[in-house]
Copies of this chain bind each other. A is one copy, B any other.
Amino acid sequence: MKITCTQENLNKALSIVGKVINKNTTLPILNNVLLKTDKKGLRLSSTNLELGVNYWIGGKIEEEGEITIPTKLFANFVASIPDGNVEIKTREDMVNIKCNSYKINIKGIDAKEYPLAPKIENDFLFKVKSEDFKEAVVQVLPSVSMSESRMEITGILLDFSEIEDGRIVLVSTDSYRLAQKTIQLSRENINKESLNALGNIRSVIIPKNAMQELSRDLSEESEMLEIVIAENQIVFNFGKAVIISRLIEGNYPQYKQVIPEKFMSQAVMDIKDISNAVKISGLFSSASNNSVKFKMGSDGKIEVSSEANELGNNNSRIVAKTSGKELEVVYNYKYLMDGLNSVLGNEVVLDINDENSPSILKTSSDETFIYVIMPIRN
């Protein structure tokens, strides 16, 4: 292999493929990045067997070839050299990289030993604006379950059962709260043939890590994101990057049944006011079972409070538009705060039934996102 490319492109590529974390220490080659010339230029690939990232950069290819070298060492070298042309040349298992008067020889491992990427020939199922998808992922990520006791909720559900009406839904839950985001697609961005080819499949569960990786990499430079779904894999195509992830098997909970449709009471509040009040109550959270008490009066007054014997107590009053009956509900501090951080808009709407039924958090300006939160039973 002998190619010349720019430090800038190489650095960008490594900042993306270099983030795939390898937990598999029995296969040291997974700490390496694969360099491979193909018709799209120089491909850099990285995988941890569950998640693979590919990125293409342009360059002058004088000699085709492929090799793998330690990702971290390569990335650190590229980050240390000035902007300019970088020449990459292999001689047997040594990779010689040169930029101006800086020269490094890195011992590589034969690309034949690198795990093969799954071949997915399917066409895209839908295309979506990158920024819309990124926003959605950022909103639903905090509610994904951290516990591996129920694998199916350690991922994000992509529900495309309503795709023929131009809607897809992202859902996450850890059984204490649930986040649901609806994205509207343009008709021309939906591929009916791919949908038919999927048979009965109308939803998939995508691992949290893949979604995190995707949300970090989906920058504004790629306007549209293409999503391809195969049997056990999902592929994200955007800009010069391709992310491939395995899917999580299992049955996702029937989330629509969890979302209440009617409420006894409603409070509409300024997001800053309620966020400050909850944050202050959270100062005692570790010493108070993480409880935050939410009290709604009939007079348009909200009181947020918490108490910890050893430390003291706190109490904040918020002016709100209230309707329905007066009540007192106790929430988990972290779950409430996550919800407040996820909604977009200045006016938060909290719909409450009673102290034992799920409440809903949303904003008056955003119809696409709702956050369901279970109160703590007293």
Contact = CB atoms under 8 A, between A and B. Distances in A.
Interface stretch (A137-145, A148-156, A207-215, A307-315): A307-315
A101 B317 contact: yes
Interface residues of A, number: 32
B80 A279 contact: yes
A103 B318 contact: no
Contacts of A284: 73
A80 B314 CA distance: 13
A276 B80 CA distance: 6
A82 interface: yes
B105 A314 contact: yes
Interface in A256-286: 272, 276-277, 279-280, 283-284
Contacts of A255: none
Given A77-B283, A283-B73, A276 B102 contact: yes
Given A80-B283, A283-B76, A313 B102 contact: no
A350 interface: no
A81 interface: yes
Contact of A318 (B94, B101, B105, B276): B101
A106 interface: yes
A316 B103 contact: yes
Contact of A104 (B70, B101, B312): B312
A105 B313 CA distance: 5
Interface of A: 70, 73, 76-77, 80-82, 94-95, 101-107, 272, 276-277, 279-280, 283-284, 310-318
5 contacts: A70-B311, A73-B283, A102-B280, A102-B316, A104-B283
10 closest residue pairs by CB, A with B: A101-B317, A104-B314, A106-B312, A105-B312, A80-B279, A102-B316, A103-B315, A107-B312, A80-B280, A105-B313
